[in-house]
Structure 1
């Protein structure tokens, strides 16, 4: 199935480095990033840039469920997956981008996925994708077809990093698998929203909700996938609100999600699909946090 999962992505513009008061904020960010490095990044800190580009799933491009049966290694991929990431055209570009973020969410910083592809001019391009969070570090030696918990965690990580505008913003990702340091929480105090889903399912889906206070800061940074993308018709002045591709924005997290963790500030769980049932919840949710306004 070719689902346009990331056809309209949701990332904001980077903060202006010359803005007043940013120097102190950068110091906190640097300290928090140090926490990620010093703890080896294994489910202990999720301070990551997010710039997952649009159109990550196209017809004939890499489909996440094609990766499930075998180890996350080039020589273990199914033929259609290997063909997708080595394609020299647009299919290959979006396939490699999606794979890079899957590796980032799944493997540890000491693990890599390396391969090479050849462009239409015959020039070889070596690729090395390094892990960050380690959600499924064992995927390097075996498949995760039967591990739906991990599939949901990786999917939530991907959803949280989807990009509408194509530029990078540093965010803090938190949930019950990822702790956060005091420095990280100080540098990223604004709760944006929450993300969940399963891109590996036979019918892939992603869901999101917005924080009733933090969505204003999210829109200021042009991160629209929690609160929805707003466009104004330049001729009529009509304002329209759009979903982020196939990601369904269900509404306010304060109404859809469980209690907030007292330490990390993340939502413990959210309603999976309100149309199907307002009672069925998932705890495989990633809550995102942003920097405060200067």
Structure 2
């Protein structure tokens, strides 16, 4: 499935962990970001129904206040979640952006989430968020509760759409529930990496890994959240790799994941938290793919 996304910012209330394996297979020379815009494909790709959709949620845009176990409806939200999306300040903008992505990942294209918030000048702003992938379309009427399978699927979907720069880049999302056509696979042949986690857990977490070849293309189109963000010290010239917000990048996918689907190329499972155990795996993983470029 192909997606594309827009800007957002906020940080999980969890410590930013470091993974020593970041960049272990990455060339010491940081690639120049060419910033290729692929926004012309957004809403014109024809694949929206089967798994290609918009990404671009910045790593700071993830705030637990936007998550709710109640029905995904303004009338059923917790008071905390409702107050968060109606906040007229910066935090409100972040909460609304997260909610937009939650709705996109969870509901179907024929479902919407509508509400209104009022800014500091007293002007009302109606919002209508449209569903897209339909991971949990029933969430519109029933609470998600402790359905950890769905929690992991939605979390992986959101993680796959995080973008360091907040730019729109079309990506193909694939796993056991996101089908892909041969045309989609031909248009998006470069495997970028994989994403997983649970934003609904008592201690929210997100994990990611990068493809040892595809990370080059990812950096070209400003997708840094699988391989880590590259920065060069202007004084010393030292190159460093940074985690993507609270997301822990564990290293190359060929060390973190296994069971590659022979047709669609996605990973069937990845290590949940390598610092806890190298054996505990999750199969609620979203693998992302990019265009090959010129």
TM-score bracket for this pair, using the shorter chain length:
0.7 to 0.9
| Structure 2 residue aligned with 1:215 | 215
Q: Measured at CA, do residues 159 and 188 of structure 1 come closer, stay the same or move farther in structure 2, by a change above 3 Å?
A: same
In the alignment, is the contact (CA less than 8 A) between 2:12 and 2:60 conserved in 1? no
Deviation of the 1:163 alpha carbon = 1.4
| Structure 1 residue aligned with 2:244 | 244
| Structure 1 residue aligned with 2:46 | 34
Q: Measured at CA, do residues 4 and 230 of structure 1 come closer, stay the same or move farther in structure 2, by a change above 3 Å?
A: farther
What is the aligned-residue RMSD (CA, Å)? 2.1
Q: Secondary structure at the match of 2:196?
A: strand
Deviation of the 1:186 alpha carbon = 0.9
Match of 1:3 among 12, 26, 31: 12
- For 1:117 and 1:261, locate their aligned partners in 2 and report how far apart those are by CA, in whole Å: 44
Query: Which stretch of structure 1 is more off in the superposition, 150-159 or 138-147?
Result: 138-147
Gaps of 5+ in 1: 18-25
Q: Measured at CA, do residues 14 and 145 of structure 1 come closer, stay the same or move farther in structure 2, by a change above 3 Å?
A: farther
- For 1:290 and 1:130, locate their aligned partners in 2 and report how far apart those are by CA, in whole Å: 24
- For 1:139 and 1:31, locate their aligned partners in 2 and report how far apart those are by CA, in whole Å: 25
- For 2:37 and 2:242, locate their aligned partners in 1 and report how far apart those are by CA, in whole Å: 27
1:34-59, CA deviations, whole angstroms, 9 ceiling, x for partnerless residues?
Answer: 243xxxx3xxx21111121342245x
- For 1:90 and 1:3, locate their aligned partners in 2 and report how far apart those are by CA, in whole Å: 15
Q: Secondary structure at the match of 1:62?
A: helix
Q: Measured at CA, do residues 31 and 197 of structure 1 come closer, stay the same or move farther in structure 2, by a change above 3 Å?
A: closer
1:197-216, CA deviations, whole angstroms, 9 ceiling, x for partnerless residues?
Answer: 00010100000000111011
| Structure 1 residue aligned with 2:268 | 268
User: What are the within-5 Å matches in structure 2 for residues 187-226 of structure 1?
Assistant: 187-226=187-226
Q: Secondary structure at the match of 2:240?
A: strand
| Structure 1 residue aligned with 2:56 | 51
By percentage of residues, which structure has more helix? 1
In the alignment, is the contact (CA less than 8 A) between 2:103 and 2:129 conserved in 1? yes
In the alignment, is the contact (CA less than 8 A) between 1:32 and 1:181 conserved in 2? no
Question: TM-score, normalization: structure 2?
Answer: 0.86
- For 2:167 and 2:34, locate their aligned partners in 1 and report how far apart those are by CA, in whole Å: 6
| Structure 2 residue aligned with 1:15 | 36
Q: Measured at CA, do residues 171 and 76 of structure 1 come closer, stay the same or move farther in structure 2, by a change above 3 Å?
A: same
| Structure 2 residue aligned with 1:279 | 279
Gaps of 5+ in 2: 1-10, 17-32
1:245-275, CA deviations, whole angstroms, 9 ceiling, x for partnerless residues?
Answer: 1111111101111121011110111011111
- For 1:193 and 1:168, locate their aligned partners in 2 and report how far apart those are by CA, in whole Å: 17
Runs of 4+ in 1 over 4 A off after TM superposition: 29-32
